[in-house]
A and B are shown apart, each in its own frame.
Chain A
Amino acid sequence: GENVEQHPSTLSVQEGDSAVIKCTYSDSASNYFPWYKQELGKGPQLIIDIRSNVGEKKDQRIAVTLNKTAKHFSLHITETQPEDSAVYFCAARKTSYDKVIFGPGTSLSVIP
């Protein structure tokens, strides 16, 4: 069935260091790969997404990469700041309006 795996489940970094979260997906029909940040008491917030015809996308300190052949995708956050501390979810979907299949989440802590 459709499944998204994510690791690590927890990640602690020093402020200014980089953080990397890796995901794999099972459904080869997936074409959209959004990443969400969820802060305590809030809903998931879309921070970046990548589509299957693109290998890499950057937005300021955030970059995502996609290897469709291997069914791997990753989130890279550079120059981490304390406000980056949150739970991050990778996700996959077949179309932009299809159901979102979420990974189990990574709890990121940035230590000042």
Chain B
Amino acid sequence: ETGVTQSPTHLIKTRGQQVTLRCSSQSGHNTVSWYQQALGQGPQFIFQYYREEENGRGNFPPRFSGLQFPNYSSELNVNALELDDSALYLCASSFRDFNTEAFFGQGTRLTVV
């Protein structure tokens, strides 16, 4: 186990709704990245947070937003859900200052109907 925990593990939402996913990073890690993994594909980078600031963003629209809290936990918010947002959302944490590799949580399976 990596020590990175995500909640909830599964959820179902209706198109047009909003959703918040949560991630607790591994103890001591100050950097959190979020990825979207569609079925049968590799994870795609959404954005990264370092010390509560967004620090890099992939090719995702502004309706994907995030937060990082002082304890380094993080949230991913998605507004105006679309059917194509159905995917496994992964959170990864690392300790940037010490050059550590990223460790992933088990993911949240989001289904948009």
Residues in A lying within 8 Å of B, measured CB to CB: 4, 32, 34, 36, 41-46, 49, 89, 91, 95-105
Contact = CB atoms under 8 A, between A and B. Distances in A.
B94 A97 contact: yes
B28 interface: no
A42 B106 contact: yes
Given A97-B99, A97-B100, A97-B102, 9 more contacts: A4-B42, A34-B101, A43-B4, A43-B106, A44-B43, A89-B42, A96-B101, A100-B35, A100-B102
Contacts of B58: 99
Given A42-B106, A43-B105, A44-B104, A100 B45 contact: yes
Chain A contact surface mostly: loop
Nearest to B6: A43
Interface residues of B, number: 29
A42 B96 CA distance: 24
Contact of B99 (A45, A91, A96): A96
Nearest to B4: A43
B101 A43 contact: no
Contacts of A97: 31, 50, 94, 96, 99-100, 102
